């Protein structure tokens, strides 16, 4: 009975049920605090989206628009429902995916275990931000990158084992090299993309790709040379950053040249692997790095080498 009796497909009926819900209605409910209605609409929007075999780009954007204003109004059960439903979808709205994946593991677990929308670099960032609870869930993913699986096992083993014994000293050295090797393996898959980016660098300034290769090489002299060029320091100043009693000065330098949190973490963990044996240390690094003002970090480097400020901007372009 649609028009002249033409049949309406199930997919079209699903789309018609999904599209009319206005994002302004959702926002009004979110602002008005109508908890029960907010939860019903939140669940209905997620269910309708998941019933679409191949959601369009506009439908993906629309689900973000509809659900993100409600996310703080709905109970944990509704967020867990959304995580479970979306974990089976090939296409997931990126904003909702990020919010749900960063929820406590009791809510985010279905996405961490099953969602193919989470890439390896996303999993690394989640482990860095949330530590062992998320790491344990990620370890259950089918087909998990072996390097990430090894890294999770190392974190779990370190957390479960008391620190003692003279054998721990020998294991520490082996563990440091093992961390470097895991990081090398983990990032090899992204070499192609990063080489294309490094081709745009000019005046011989080192790219992040060169910094990463130097850090993972285990060659202290090579890393010192590349780091000195990137930060505009002399070799002695770069050596002091890499042999300091903590990683804070190195982290500040990496913040000053505009690296992403995950990039800075990888370089710092390769240079100071003994500092990242447990999840709290990883989380502390992420919090410190993201809290640091880029301007303050750049002022720190300018005090160390006032004449080379221009060179330090190369990686920020």
Report residue 302's pLDDT band, with 50, 70 and 90 as the boundaries.
Answer: confident
Residues 96 and 203 both lie in one domain: no
Residues 88 and 195 both lie in one domain: no
Residues 183 and 300 both lie in one domain: yes
| Confidence check: pLDDT of 158 > 80 | no
310: in domain: yes
Which of 204 and 262 is assigned the larger pLDDT? 262
The mean pLDDT of 198-215, rounded to a whole number, is 68
The mean pLDDT of 124-140, rounded to a whole number, is 88
| Confidence check: pLDDT of 61 > 70 | yes
Least-confidence region, from 53-57, 130-134, 297-301: 297-301
| Burial annotation 78-101 (CB, 10 A radius, 16+ → b, else e) | bbbbbbbbbbebebbbebbbbbbb
From 103, 136, 153, the end of a domain falls on 103
Residues 94 and 174 both lie in one domain: no
Q: For residue 85, what are the CA distances in angstroms to 38, 73, 90, 240?
A: 18, 19, 11, 51
Report residue 254's pLDDT band, with 50, 70 and 90 as the boundaries.
Answer: very high
| Confidence check: pLDDT of 27 > 90 | no
| Confidence check: pLDDT of 4 > 70 | no
Residue 46 has a CB neighbour count (10 Å cut-off) of: 24
Tell me what percent of the residues of the chain surpass a pLDDT of 70.
Answer: 68
4: in domain: yes
pLDDT of res. 120 = 87
| Confidence check: pLDDT of 301 > 80 | no
- Alpha-carbon distance of 179 to 184, in angstroms, equals 9
164: in domain: no
Residues 83 and 213 both lie in one domain: no
From 103, 127, 153, the end of a domain falls on 103
Q: For residue 96, what are the CA distances in angstroms to 3, 46, 71, 101, 102?
A: 37, 10, 9, 8, 10
Answer whether 0.85 is exceeded by the pTM: no
20: in domain: yes
295: in domain: yes
137: in domain: no
Residues 185 and 307 both lie in one domain: yes
Q: For residue 11, what are the CA distances in angstroms to 5, 8, 87, 197, 219?
A: 17, 8, 21, 41, 58
Interacting residues of 247 by C-beta distance below 8 A, sequence separation 6+: 268, 271, 272, 275, 285
pLDDT of res. 162 = 54
Range picked from 104-108, 157-161, 273-277 for highest mean pLDDT:
104-108
pLDDT of res. 15 = 47
Report residue 182's pLDDT band, with 50, 70 and 90 as the boundaries.
Answer: low
How many domains does the structure of the chain reveal? 2
Strand partners, 6: 2
119: in domain: no
302: in domain: yes
From 75, 103, 131, the end of a domain falls on 103
- The domain containing residue 69 runs over which residues? 1-103
Residue 300 has a CB neighbour count (10 Å cut-off) of: 15
Least-confidence region, from 48-52, 135-139, 166-170, 255-259: 166-170
Residues 206 and 291 both lie in one domain: yes
């Amino acid at each position: 009975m649609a028009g002249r009796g033409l049949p309406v497909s199930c997919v079209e009926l699903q789309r018609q049920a999904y599209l009319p819900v206005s994002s302004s209605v959702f926002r009004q409910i979110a602002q008005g605090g109508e908890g029960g209605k907010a939860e019903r609409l939140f669940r209905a929007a997620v269910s309708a989206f998941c019933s679409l075999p191949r959601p369009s780009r506009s439908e993906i954007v629309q689900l973000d628009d509809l659900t993100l204003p409600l996310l703080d109004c709905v109970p944990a059960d509704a967020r867990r429902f959304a995580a479970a439903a979306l974990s089976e979808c090939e296409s997931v709205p990126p904003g909702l995916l990020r919010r749900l994946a960063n929820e406590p593991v009791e809510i985010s677990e279905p996405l961490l275990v099953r969602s193919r929308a989470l890439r390896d670099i996303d999993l690394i960032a989640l482990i860095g931000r949330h530590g062992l609870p998320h790491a344990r869930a990620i370890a259950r993913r089918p087909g998990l990158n072996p390097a990430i699986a090894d890294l999770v096992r190392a974190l779990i083993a370190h957390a479960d084992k008391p620190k003692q014994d003279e054998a721990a000293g020998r294991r520490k050295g082996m563990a440091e090299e093992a961390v470097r090797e895991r990081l090398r393996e983990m990032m090899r898959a992204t070499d192609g993309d990063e080489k294309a980016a490094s081709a745009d660098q000019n005046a011989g300034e080192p790219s992040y790709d060169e910094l990463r290769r130097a850090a993972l090489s285990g060659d202290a002299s090579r890393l010192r040379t590349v780091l000195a060029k990137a930060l505009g320091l002399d070799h002695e100043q770069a050596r002091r950053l890499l042999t300091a009693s903590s990683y804070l000065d190195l982290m500040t330098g990496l913040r000053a040249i505009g690296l992403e949190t995950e990039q800075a973490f990888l370089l710092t963990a390769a240079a100071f692997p003994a500092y990242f044996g447990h999840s709290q240390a990883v989380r502390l690094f992420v919090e410190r790095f993201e809290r640091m003002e880029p301007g303050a970090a750049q002022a720190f480097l300018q005090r160390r080498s006032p004449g080379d400020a221009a060179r330090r901007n190369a990686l920020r372009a």
